[in-house]
Structure 1
């Protein structure tokens, strides 16, 4: 019997993301501050934000962007990101958001796969962006640099035209709003097809549990290009008419300064930030009394760490669970459920049902009255489940079954209140500071080195990062390499969060009869352990 959300279903309107967030903006709300941009110190009201979104959409349409086209957005957290993102969607186009840390080859792969026709970025990221655009044949005239750069149109150029937004009609249930990239349960990054209905539904579902309020001031440091930043932090806050304070990157001193200066009341974080909040002495030097709630996501949070943050800040401590493929939230811990451990990712949000399946037998694991279930893989069903992976029907079929359940690859247990505890991963992803790192991608890079005969990459526990990529390397006969040389080699070819950070040299990689790497035989081990 599936587990069901304890919350009543929410009604999901058949509207676009733009109409959902801005369509009911009242005259009284237009003067409220929507965004404080910490990089520029500028405030943008809800009225101005809507007008700029409309103008950006009109300018894109004037340049030939039409419903169904894909526009790449490569930008840190700023007010300009919000305007461009919603402008792309308002024009009927699909936004494919690009990780700010991606290298030119990684960007080029996403551009090719998504078929993006325009590229929107900032001057800081322009060199890498242009290298990727050149590789895929996207000319400079198709690249918009929001803060301006010679030879490119800027946001000011587009907004100053005052073009009216286009008259577009979309089917919210089928029209793709965003195309973020995720590694799913394994392998290289794939385009996750999320519709307007997916995003609208999950915003409403999340609001049924996440206790953000209209008077909250929300610090947005987790990146908007990631589905957590995009559809939890940005969408919920804007829908509620609360205030977003954007940070382009995490810096602890600036993070703490903004908490104090802006009187931040709601913090969305990932576990590495929880470590800083719980342990760093600098936290004692600022007034954090404005913070009433902290929600951690992107990777599992240890109960002791969550309790330490809660005690130090004197606030509510929450945890949530989701995946890009779920738009993203399926579970969250309500702020008033102090009877449930903060080590739990919480209860199923509205409109969600889920199963726990024994990966060995394929049998459904049943609830245990008054206790916790046996561990099993979490399968989730609800209106946030993606349409599928772009151009990859096989991967879609492997992830979503005929009943509509998405197989998460995470191993969980369910407690007596229906709360979920993530205890392991069936999938092979490494979670470094909340970012997905596919081992297979790093293994492919390592095998391009002429001195490396074979390689395997597994997660290794790390207090600050959660997990780090640990490479086991087999050298070619007669070859010589140091661990630093291996790490430097991979660092040149992948985004910083994907770098190999630990290396062991061993004589052979353990594999099954079918040739599959036996990562379980390597996890938590060193060369000395393996003899």
Structure 2
């Protein structure tokens, strides 16, 4: 594997993992104890993750960009007894009562014998990782998954992507989020090569150079990566010979961008996916459907079953209806850590013969062939003069304008009508579109209450720590 220019073999990663596990066990870390990581992705930190698993501990992923306040919340909420970090000196000043290990300095002893006598056996039902949601508008929630969930996700996702040991998978990842974690771990589990970069290059042509230089066969990325890639001057004249597929998740990939990518790289398969932290991956659209159903995120992946529910939590069966998506299956989390009421509220039992169905909070519709179409987040909609406004519908229209590269719509409080929609626009390069022209465009295609009252041009939309568009940060 290669992380930000540093290479490591499987043997080298295993040696680091053995060092870490031996030290943790010697220091009294017990099976099931929570051990957190807090640092930028590196070969060393990946070896640390393996060591935490070898010691039978539960990994707590904390994003390395989080400040000390959120870090301390997640450490205390998870009950972590230790944190392994690349900022040990800074954290030791907190005197938190939590053992602080430096990634490099505290695990430099000689490599133990490879009989792994210090390693602990784990059961598939044991909690293995706690991933925290972003908590942008509420308390971050710890999503607890067990080893069975992780193995099910690995088998299902790598199965439909048809991954082999010959694959070289490029991602821009962090080990602190579930998406980044799986992007790195899955190639290692099927024996391939993980190529990981910490940040997108300023020049998008460098992405194509990187793909060619390393023989990349797969890209596992968020849509903002695609937005950036499409700005490459070499896109239409340099199709990477090695690249087999692009897999995107996290937010909808606009149809306009799909078509541009298909035109530039027609032989590359595009997998459009939908997932969430509570159920790693829910659905995927087969590449041979991308031209016919570009707005769909496909059907449930192997091991997952999907249902739509009405406001009264009754099952909805008619095609075309909009309802809240419920998911069940082997990939579904075990619980929200330390949040039994929240877990109980989002999990329903005894429906459709399922032991547990998780309500995602996302609204979808299903067509007659069972393909899923994302509509909106339940709590994203707002009222304007008593009429419901769906920001995602406005965004989808705006992105169809040839002068618009990205769009986000947020509510602005108004004493008279409740809320007004405001559009934030990232324009395509070399365009002179005006705010009024975009308002007129929306007026032609949308009902009056959906037309943005304000349009603002911005150089870029904010991103979450994991790389998705942070729409709520604009509110």
- CA spacing shift, 1:336–1:50, aligned 2, 3 Å: farther
CA distance in 2, matches of 1:248, 1:284: 26
Q: Is the 8 A contact 1:303 1:341 kept in 2?
A: no
CA distance in 1, matches of 2:452, 2:31: 49
Q: Is the 8 A contact 1:54 1:165 kept in 2?
A: no
Give the counterpart of 2:35 among 56, 71, 77.
71
* C-alpha distance after superposition, 1:402-459 (max 9, x if no partner): 2311101111112333221111111449xxxxxxxxxxxxxxxxxxxxxxxxxxxx99
1:87 to partner: Cα distance: 1.3
Q: Compute the TM-score of the two structures, normalised by the length of structure 2.
A: 0.75
In structure 1, the residue matched to 2:64 is 100
SS at match of 2:20: helix
Taking only aligned residues, the RMSD between alpha carbons, in angstroms, comes to 3.2
In structure 1, the residue matched to 2:213 is 261
In structure 2, the residue matched to 1:145 is 102
**How does 1:18-29 map onto structure 2 within 5 Å?**
none
SS at match of 2:315: coil
- Higher relative CO (CA 8 A, sep ≥ 6), structure 1 or 2? 1
Q: Which runs of 5+ in 1 are unaligned?
A: 1-34, 430-457, 475-520
Number of residue pairs matched? 397
- CA spacing shift, 1:342–1:46, aligned 2, 3 Å: farther
Give the counterpart of 1:195 among 146, 150, 154.
146
Give the counterpart of 1:250 among 200, 220, 225.
200
* C-alpha distance after superposition, 1:327-358 (max 9, x if no partner): x0111123344565232212211122111122
CA distance in 1, matches of 2:11, 2:254: 41
1:241 to partner: Cα distance: 0.8
**How does 1:80-119 map onto structure 2 within 5 Å?**
80-119=44-83
The yes-or-no answer on 1:236 pairing with 2:186 is yes
In structure 2, the residue matched to 1:376 is 323
SS at match of 1:200: helix
Q: Compute the TM-score of the two structures, normalised by the length of structure 1.
A: 0.67
Give the counterpart of 1:317 among 250, 270, 279.
270
Q: Is the 8 A contact 2:247 2:272 kept in 1?
A: yes
* C-alpha distance after superposition, 1:341-393 (max 9, x if no partner): 2322122111221111223x54322243xxxx221111001011111111111
1:57 to partner: Cα distance: 1.5
Q: Is the 8 A contact 1:98 1:225 kept in 2?
A: yes
* C-alpha distance after superposition, 1:49-105 (max 9, x if no partner): 333323321222122222111111122332223211121111110111111221111
SS at match of 1:201: helix
The yes-or-no answer on 1:121 pairing with 2:85 is yes
In structure 2, the residue matched to 1:353 is 305
In structure 1, the residue matched to 2:443 is none
- CA spacing shift, 1:421–1:56, aligned 2, 3 Å: same
CA distance in 2, matches of 1:177, 1:51: 21
- CA spacing shift, 1:282–1:402, aligned 2, 3 Å: same
CA distance in 1, matches of 2:207, 2:111: 33
CA distance in 2, matches of 1:352, 1:58: 37
Give the counterpart of 1:274 among 202, 226, 244.
226
**How does 1:75-474 map onto structure 2 within 5 Å?**
75-123=39-87, 130-131=90-91, 134-135=93-94, 137-138=96-97, 142-146=99-103, 148=104, 153-155=105-107, 157-158=108-109, 160=111, 164=116, 166-173=118-125, 175-182=126-133, 187-231=138-182, 233-253=183-203, 254-281=206-233, 283=235, 288-314=240-266, 315-326=268-279, 328-338=280-290, 340-359=292-311, 361-368=312-319, 373-403=320-350, 404-428=356-380, 467=408
- CA spacing shift, 1:425–1:330, aligned 2, 3 Å: same
CA distance in 1, matches of 2:157, 2:97: 37
* C-alpha distance after superposition, 1:116-172 (max 9, x if no partner): 11111225xx57xx35x6546146xx32222x4xxxx344x1564668452423321
CA distance in 1, matches of 2:375, 2:335: 26
Q: Is the 8 A contact 2:364 2:376 kept in 1?
A: yes
The answer to which structure has the higher strand fraction is 2
Q: Is the 8 A contact 1:303 1:342 kept in 2?
A: yes
1:289 to partner: Cα distance: 2.9
- CA spacing shift, 1:364–1:184, aligned 2, 3 Å: farther
1:296 to partner: Cα distance: 0.7
1:212 to partner: Cα distance: 2.6
Give the counterpart of 2:10 among 35, 46, 56.
46
CA distance in 1, matches of 2:410, 2:67: 18
CA distance in 1, matches of 2:110, 2:238: 39
SS at match of 1:377: strand
